[in-house]
Amino acid sequence: MRQALLHARVLLDDGFVDDRAVLIEGERIAAVVPADDPAVRAAATRHDLSGLTLLPGFLDTQVNGGGGVLFNDAPSVESIRRIGEAHRGYGTTGFLPTLISDDLDVVARAIAATDAAIASGVPGVVGIHIEGPYLNSVRRGTHDPTKLRNLDAGAVQLLTSLRRGRTLVTLAPEVASTGMIRRLVEAGVIVAAGHTNATYREITAALAEGLRGFTHLFNAMSQLTVREPGAVGAALDDRASWCGIIVDGRHVDFVALRLALRCKPIDRFMLVTDAMPTVGADAKSFNLQGKPISVEDGVCVDEMGVLSGSDLDMSAAVRNATAQLGVDLATAARMASRYPAAFLGFEHELGRIAPGYRANLVAVDAGVRVAHTWIDGAPL
């Protein structure tokens, strides 16, 4: 069944166009054609988008929860489904359910659940993000210190056990034995630095082993100082690696993010939410490994005021990027789609509105509020 999406402002590689129709065949984009092309009239289903803006669907690499569900609490296929449904309402058509530091049996259950979710066709899930437990306790943030451990050879088999989709592991390079990052990378794992107190030299050595990015830049990592650039300095100095940024104005000041965007190519920055169960839920409090967490001024904090994830969704992140970071809508949308797709190695199938790409799309109004989404051609 061919679908035609009509009368939208469409984001293509060269920018926005107003006179194109997007044709979907099954799970893929079949063509982008002039609005009066005969193939449009021949489509079995035509969706009149009435002047909405059509963007590549958002891809979030850091989703701890949503819809009242925390992945750590219930690492199951049903939890992944509910989290995806909650975030889809905000334009997220691809995501990595994210497990923060936990016991290794919980990590194993989360990997198995993700594999099963992909196998059973749960919409949107494209892999898993394992954030810890291989972190530095000095920069642990809200992570439970009793769960943290060093990365050694015994962890490799577990971290490389996902059969479908991508595995992203956030770790502190200084707690990994020499060569461990390289072993993970050679086995197909994407490795990012986070919750790290590493020196610039230690991060540089990790980059040489295959470190690909940085998890929530500025947060929970050694800072840039005049005599020791730290993890932040290494992230901004290296032009090839990707940086995830939480654009809510509370995790990082907007000035710091604007300065960061001037340090390396814009296509190496990707919007992430670090979302907690409160996104897409009425309740604005939950428990995190025994600690009560509540939303205050748009962020999740524990009783001591420690940041514990966010109440941010991807459509709000795009709005904030355009309003506060000095980027236009096209760039902000790519920071939420094309650039994370490249980070995950999906650059040939996700993140663009182009023939052959998966039909993961979001239609938004002038305020970047979501009206419609498609995941693998299926509309909602």
pLDDT in tens, 279-295: 999 999 999 999 999 99
Same fold, 2-55+355-379 and 58-343: no
CATH number given to 2-55+355-379: 2.30.40.10
Lookup: tokens for 374: 């498609």
pLDDT of 152 strictly over 90: no
**Whose structure tokens read 């992140």?**
317
> Which of helix, strand or coil describes residue 373?
strand
What is the structure's pLDDT at 154?
Answer: 84
What is the C-alpha to C-alpha distance for residues 341 and 290, in angstroms, rounded to an integer?
Answer: 34
What's the pLDDT at 297? 85
- The percent of residues in the chain predicted with pLDDT above 70, rounded, is 100
Q: Which token pair is 350? A: 């996700």
Mind listing the pLDDT tens digit for each residue in 208-256?
999 999 999 999 999 999 999 999 999 999 999 999 999 999 999 999 9
* Residue 245 φ/ψ, nearest 5 degrees: -130, 140
> What are the tens digits of pLDDT across the range 70-84?
999 999 999 999 999
Cα torsion angle, 200, 202, 205, 210, sign: negative
pLDDT for res 23:
98
- Positions annotated as catalytic residues are 274
Q: What is the mean pLDDT of residues 284-312?
A: 94
**What is the tens place of the pLDDT at every residue in 252-279?**
999 999 999 999 999 999 999 999 999 9
| Nearest residue to 138 via CA among 54, 76, 230 | 230
pLDDT of 262 reads 98
State the pLDDT at residue 118.
Answer: 98
With beta carbons less than 8 A apart as the criterion, state whether 208 and 200 touch. Answer: no
Q: Is the pLDDT of residue 16 over 90?
A: yes
- Region at 326 (left for phi over 0; alpha for psi -120 to 50; beta for the rest): left
Question: Residue range 8-22: average pLDDT?
Answer: 97
Mean pLDDT over 31-50 rounds to: 95
**Hunting for tokens 């920071």 — which residue is that?**
335
pLDDT tens, position by position, 106-122: 999 999 999 999 999 99
- Evaluate the CA torsion angle 342, 90, 361, 261 in order and state its sign: negative
Cα radius of gyration rounded to whole Å, the chain: 20
- Structural contact between residues 43 and 3, judged by C-beta atoms closer than 8 angstroms: yes
| Boundaries of every domain in the chain | 2-55+355-379, 58-343
Q: What is the arithmetic mean of pLDDT over 93-103?
A: 98
58-343: CATH topology: TIM Barrel (3.20.20)
Which pLDDT tens digit goes with each residue over 336-368? 999 999 999 999 999 999 999 999 999 999 999
pLDDT at 153: 87
The residue-averaged pLDDT of 161-182 equals: 97
Please give the Cα distance from 335 to 270 (Å, whole number). Answer: 5
pLDDT confidence of 150, banded at 50, 70, 90? very high
What's the pLDDT score for residue 212?
A: 98
Q: What are phi and psi of 233, to 5 degrees?
A: -60, -40
So what's the pLDDT on residue 1?
82
Residue 298 has pLDDT above 90, yes or no: no
Task: Report residue 342: phi and psi, to 5°.
Answer: -65, -40
Tokens of 65: 């929860």
What separation in angstroms does the CA of 23 have from each of 50, 79, 91?
16, 32, 20
- Of 66 and 380, the structure prediction assigns the larger pLDDT to 66
